[in-house]
Structure 1
Amino acid sequence: MSSSSPAHPAMAANKPHVLLIPYPAQGHVNPFLKLAKALHARGFHVTFVNTEYNHGRLLRARGPAAVAGADGLRFETIPDGLPPSDLDATQDIWALCEATRRTGPAAVRELVERLGRVEGAPPVSCVIADGAMGYVVHVAKEMGLPVYLFFTPSGCGLVVYLHFDQLVKRGYVPFKDESCFTNGYLDTPVDWIPGMLPGLRLRDLPTFIRTTDPDDTLVTINIKQCELDSPAADGILLNTFDALERRALDAIRARLPNTFTVGPLGPEVAPPSYLPALTSSLWRPDDWCLAWLDGLHQAHHEAEASVVYVNFGSITVVTPAQMDEFAWGLAASGCPFLWVVRPDVVRDGWALPAGWEEAVAGRGIAAAWCDQEAVLEHKATGGFLSHCGWNSTLESLRAGVPMLCWPFFSEQVTNCRYACDEWGVGLEMPREVGRREVEDAVRELMGTEGRGAAARRRAAEWKAKAREAVAPGGSSRGNLDKFIDEIARTK
């Protein structure tokens, strides 16, 4: 039933009603909204939960239409437990994890009860919560509701999270002291985690382990999520596909058998034309980015697949000095580029260096935010300098664009290792780079020979496999259909 055709109250009351609760960060909200649209398109009544803080950001960035909902798809809010703020910036991850776990259960319970009293809408029949909001499992179970966890990281990242308890028990974590960050300890081999790439080191594991605190918040919460929350859920959703992470997925299913791989969640499950006003972007995109790429492509036909797209993601925070080095390194590379400079990428603000815009005029440009999937799919885009967040990695694979990898934190370092050594689509840059290293790395990625050319060939192969997974008869399409059948029976 289309969003423009109101359902008869009796029909609406008979629909399954799915409550979706993402972790309140951009990289989690994005795939959740795609899943919400996919469920709504298949006839489910859907309630999507933002925090009050993110709801305010959406209103400021995109206007009321972004959260107006549609027939059978509504938006609700819950508090995040942090002090009120009107900032347009990503909240502190450590504080947010602790606060949501502390205050979330009562808020979710109240919301489910309130939704049960909405006239003309069915009561909640199923809950899908973020893997990072695992406390929801216990609330839903207490209320007699089936509940699933949607983990938005990669499968290889989740495998490591599932073994955080063993990293503690075996004495790898917490680190002995601060010297472990610089004395080579991070190169310690970790060869006992099932399903993982051979030759893995501590530095390749999610960076939350890099702590000297035995009571570290994120280590503790991750262990609770994997040891207590996940096994209690009715099933697990992952935004990946079987051909990409088969070994890791086998290890996950050995622990959590009812695991559904449904990725890459993209146009096949929720086309851009479906409820286009409903968006998850917490920043207003610069709409001229695609027009700029079009113009570059039309003016220089040889520019096809020649533009480097640069985006450090929604959370990464860098120093002014690092931004200066990237600015001049990109300028010196000679390659056309589109660089997303998020408003809060530097904590106290940053301005483009004097003379930089003149130096790159006609071939390089900086934007505050953009429609990343559209940019990656554009025929002018030929490389992606990325932080290796999972959404970015998966979108790059789906578009067939090779990556220059500059991971920052969490499982981004794990994704980087896989992109470079397992999937063959990435080239890694060191964490500390100057303008010369940036220049050389960009030129290597975009080169017609050597490692860049090899990554481009592998990216084209993975593009075909990613699209095959979500096409009719594909593994992810079949898993999504199976999952939908399962939750449809919960009504």
Structure 2
Amino acid sequence: MLKLAELLCLAGLHITFLNTEQHQQRLVKFTDASSRFSKFPSFRFETIGDGISNDKCREDDKLKSTFMAIDTVIKPALRELLILSRQRAEEWPPVTCIIADGLMSFSIDVAKEFGIPNISFRTVSAACFWAYLCIPKLIEGDELPFKDDDLDKQITCVLGMEGFLRRRDLPSFLRAKELTDPWLQIVDSQSSKSMQASAFILNSIEELENPMPSHIGTLACAKVYTIGPLSALLSSKKNSTSSTSLRAVDRSCLTWLDSQQLKSVLYVSFGSIAVVTAKQLLEFWYGIVNSGKPFLWVIRPDSIIGERQIPEELMLATKERGCLVDWSPQEEVLAHSSIGGFLTHSGWNSTLEAITAGVPMLCWPCFADQQINSRYVDAVWKIGLDMKDMCDRSIIERMVRDLMQDRKDEFKKSSEKISNMVRSCVEEGGSSFQNFERLVEDISSMSL
């Protein structure tokens, strides 16, 4: 969202960035966002509370309280901001367009109430969003909910993916055995509601995910702007990177990487949310160490469930050829010449960053869109390996060696080919570059 906001500021638009107070505090603490955006007189931050208690509760209760807070706290706060924007038109131009996260479909109702367009920004892959939109077809075709535990059964009701999609490759929220499953209901209802948006922004590339963006546009009867990868598009316009991390970054790992050989290091990170059990941690640790490859591993302090008890042999091996950090400057790490592979949770941002850098991936997806992203990495783009639903040290060891040794040249060639294609799309004349220019023109015309 911040990178999209910065791109729109560079294009000369007035931007109000609405953030929760909790996230804004972390943004100010860990990034240069305040100073970076202060150079844009046409930009301002606004904050609201999220209305969610920090008390410990069951996940189902958290889910319920989150969506209750949207109706009781966030939706009214958005209405109030829009009213104030009209009352203070002399101080700041009134809002003429809302760009909202795709799961925040309540913004569509508010936008309609004020007679302004609402653009839905989908932060997952186009393939994942299309799978969500196919939920009614999956139910009609008796492919949802699952009737048994066979996760390798082919899925045939997602247009364009009939040849390679299995149950285990569907977004995790669709792994339901009952239509009453709360996550399935929320994803279905939010996706259905979002189809009322005036247009869609996808952090993707037409050539990478075809024909999914066109399928989405046809079903929604709305414009679809594929303008990704946003990080690469922003870098092409300002020739520098922008930090949006909500955690303290440890840059010492870059110095460690400088001492390693070309394309020799396995980078390991499961993102900002995913967690692993203490047992899974050990399986990964043994598998990575036994592969014999040097490794840089991001282990967030809050990412382990259970007590960490690491055998001495693992600590010694890590001291010899590993580097552990709490958090890393990931885009810089992936662009480093020493990185030869990426063991990832297959979040869409991480996937795009690896694709842009031309780094092959070993995928261990956890939830949401990650399952379908990892399938594309392996079966469609052929730029890595999919290890979903497995966590065994011998398998991890073998697949790390496949990625970085036995099939290294194969993955290097395919990754570089797709990386070059993606980079050309964000340069002047490329599809993402042109789609962004079209987006800016269309948003500008909304204020006339």
TM-score (norm 2): 0.91
**Aligned partner of 1:268 among 222, 227, 233:** 233
Q: Which of these residues, 162, 165, 181, is aligned with residue 200 of structure 1?
A: 165
Within-5 A mapping of 1:57-96: 57-62=26-31, 65=34, 69-70=38-39, 71-84=41-54, 94-95=63-64
Q: Distance in 2 between matches of 1:411 and 1:268?
A: 22
| Identity value in percent | 37
Alpha-carbon distance in 2 for matches of 1:474, 1:268 = 10
2:304 counterpart of 1:335: no
* Structure 1 letter corresponding to 2:95: V
For the residue of structure 1 that corresponds to 2:376, the secondary structure is helix
Is the alpha carbon distance of 1:78 and 1:46 closer, same or farther for their aligned partners in structure 2, counting shifts above 3 Å? same
Q: SS of the counterpart of 2:304?
A: coil
Corresponding residue to 2:219 among 231, 245, 255:
255
Give 3-state SS (helix, strand or coil) of 2:99's partner. strand
Matched, 1:234 2:205: no
Query: Are the equivalent residues in 1 in contact too, given 2:344–2:364 (CA < 8 A)?
Result: yes
Q: Cα deviations across residues 196-238 of structure 1 (Å, max 9, x unaligned)?
A: 25132221111111223433332222222232322x2111010
* Alignment size in residue pairs: 441
- Structure 1 residues 196, 393: closer, same or farther in 2, change over 3 A? same
8 Å CA contact 1:59, 1:67 repeated in 2: no
Cα gap change, 1:132/1:187 in structure 2, threshold over 3 Å: closer, same or farther? Answer: same
Note the 1:138-153 alignment, pairs <5 A: 138-153=109-124
Q: Report the equivalent of 1:25.
A: none
Separation of aligned partners in 1, 2:33 and 2:446: 32
Question: Does 1:126 pair with 2:112?
Answer: no
1:478 to 427, 434, 437: 434
For 1:215 and 1:489, how far apart are their aligned partners in 2? 43
Residues 43/272 of structure 1: CA separation in 2 closer, same or farther (3 Å cut): closer
Q: Is the deviation greater in 146-155 or in 203-212? A: 203-212
For residues 37-82 of structure 1, give each alpha carbon's deviation from its aligned partner in whole angstroms, at most 9, with x where no partner exists: 0001111111112222222333454489479755222222222231
Rounded Cα–Cα distance in structure 2 between residues aligned with 1:356 and 1:91: 37
Q: Structure 1's 242 and 97: CA in aligned 2 closer, same or farther, altered over 3 A?
A: farther
Q: Which piece of structure 1 moves more, 369-378 or 322-331? A: 322-331
Distance (Å, rounded) in 1 between the aligned partners of 2:70 and 2:297: 36
Pick closer, same or farther for the CA change 1:38–1:310 going to 2, 3 Å. Answer: same
Identify the residue that residue 163 of structure 1 maps to in structure 2.
134
Structure 2: distance between partners of 1:171 and 1:287: 50
Q: Matched residues in 2 for 1:272 and 1:483: separation?
A: 16
Report 1:382-397 matches (<5 A): 382-397=340-355
- Equivalent residue, structure 1, for 2:391: 433
* TM-superposed deviation, 1:94: 3.3
Structure 2 CA distance for aligned equivalents of residues 328 and 116 of structure 1? 60
Q: 1:108 to 1:216 in 2, by over 3 A?
A: farther
Code of the aligned partner of 1:188: K
**Any conservation in 2 of the 1:66–1:279 contact (CA below 8 Å)?**
no
Q: Does 1:154 align with 2:122?
A: no
* Pairs within 5 Å for 1:336-355: 336-348=294-306, 350=308, 352-355=310-313
Cα deviation per residue 1:9-52 (whole Å; 9 max; x = unaligned)? xxxxxxxxxxxxxxxxxxxxxxx111010001111111112222
Shift of 1:135: 1.5
RMSD between aligned residues = 2.6
In structure 1, the residue corresponding to 2:437 is in which secondary structure? helix
TM-aligned CA deviation for residue 371 of structure 1: 1.2
List runs of 5+ in structure 2 lacking aligned partners: none
**Aligned equivalents of 1:74, 1:163: Cα separation in 2:** 38
2:421 to 452, 462, 465: 465
Letter in 1 for 2:217: R
CA, structure 1 residues 92+381, in 2 after alignment: closer, same or farther (shift >3 Å)?
A: farther
Deviates more, 1:235-244 or 1:214-223: 214-223
SS of corresponding position for 1:360: helix
Partner of 1:212: 177
Residues 394-433 of structure 1, C-alpha deviation per residue, up to 9 Å, x if partnerless? Answer: 1111110000111111121111111101101011224232
Q: Residues of 1 paired with 2:11 and 2:140: CA distance?
A: 45
C-alpha contact 1:38 1:270 (8 A) present in aligned 2? no
Quick one: which amino acid aligns to residue 396 of structure 2?
V
Equivalent of 1:46, from 8, 11, 15? 15
1:143 deviates by: 0.9
Decide whether the 8 Å contact of 1:286 with 1:369 is kept in 2.
Answer: yes
2:189 maps to what in 1? Answer: 224
Counterpart amino acid of residue 235 in structure 1: A
Output the amino acid matched with 1:411: D
User: Any unmatched runs of 5+ in structure 1?
Assistant: 1-31, 298-302
